[in-house]
Amino acid sequence: MTQVTVEITRLGAKGDGIGMGPDGPLYVPRAIPGDIVAVDLAYDEPQIASIERASPHRIAPLCPLFGSCGGCLIQEADLSTYRAWKQARVVEALTPLGVASCIKPLIDAHGSGRRRVTFHARRSAHGIEIGFMRARSHDLIPIDACPLLTPGLARAPFVARTLAQRFASSTKPIDLVITETMSGLDVDLRGHGPANSSLRKSLALDAEHLDLARIAMHGETVIERLRPAIQIGRAQVMIPPGAFLQATRLGEETLASIVLQALGSASLVADLFSGVGTFALRLAQMAGVHAVENNSAALAALDRALRETQGLKPISLEERDLFKRPLNDHELARFDAVVLDPPRAGAEAQTRMLARSSVSKIISVSCHLGSFVRDAEILIKAGYRLLSVTPVDQFRYSSHIELVGVFEKDKTQAKPKRRLLG
């Protein structure tokens, strides 16, 4: 039997529709709850042969490339179904910890779209091609437009295609990371290696012709015509090439608003994995801040923004690898609160130190459900209460979810803080 008819009842973690087949659950790409589909089993994974009855929640995909492009997992479910799927994923992940009641409703933070995009350039028999990866493949699909990007990135595919021609003779795959800034597009080229003087001159001409703010290669500036800055609170931050940013401007503002509201009257805060100051520069409007980050360029950008912005409370800076050398419980003792925003791997080593500390409040910002749950369990077992978890969706149509968890220590365990900054 190579074909079966299945009713789809729910969505899986990867956005696949799940229905019960003759031998157990079937995970069917592009199927949504309420569909009755004929499923072809002759492939490596089940495929829809036909839709026998369409779900009332089924809609036309936003993008004509959906299903071929690997950038989006789900576009054919209406927004209510899509948002319920993301909310359910958070509830399912946190239920084993007994804290599902703390979960707040999902906040849509897509805003005007994603402000950064990465194009891949590869040489083929037809010349240089640029695009995204195809779904479940390492092949490219050409991209002329992406509806998930900000209007300011509308010309990014043309920019990427033009710059990629400079590498037509290269056999190496090239990635072009393009970021929208206040002064124009900022491009970081990766994969080629160092640029010789001839390539630098050509790229400088391209920057002028394409009206780009900056072109860098592997984080090293080749030509800077305009200061590539973004607004963070009161400050303008000149971002280093390829610096980490939240995916959308609204996403960053939403996360920061939740963090600031949760901090309350804290007067001294540690901002761990601070980056260019996404939280530190906003926190400094109300409290003293100690910002810790392992990337020296990010810290330099934060320092410059701090010196150029009036009216902020002191921010001390520390370059430190928190994976290898987390702040210990003695170093943490002086802070009223800690904000941490680690990479996808989470911050297990630092969380274990926080679990031993007397910090009254911990606010964890995470882009990965699994690492958030692991770190939350460490804190809960150490006596911290999870007051709230807020899911924030700035990666529309993907499985990614941003989370803000607010943890509070039993006040009877808190110790006096030493008011020393630096």
Is 367 considered catalytic here?
yes
- Answer whether 312's CB lies under 8 Å from 281's CB: yes
Measure Cα distances from 273 to 4, 46, 309, 352 in Å.
50, 41, 21, 16
Q: How many CA atoms lie within 13 A of 169 on its CB side?
A: 2
- In angstroms, the CA 401 to CA 205 distance is 40
- Answer whether 369's CB lies under 8 Å from 93's CB: yes
For 180: left if phi > 0, alpha if psi spans -120 to 50, otherwise beta; the answer is: beta
Measure Cα distances from 61 to 76, 156, 337, 362, 387 in Å.
5, 22, 44, 40, 37
Active site residue: 69, 72, 146, 367, which one? 367
* Residue from 160, 226, 162 nearest 190 by CA: 160
Active-site residue set: 367
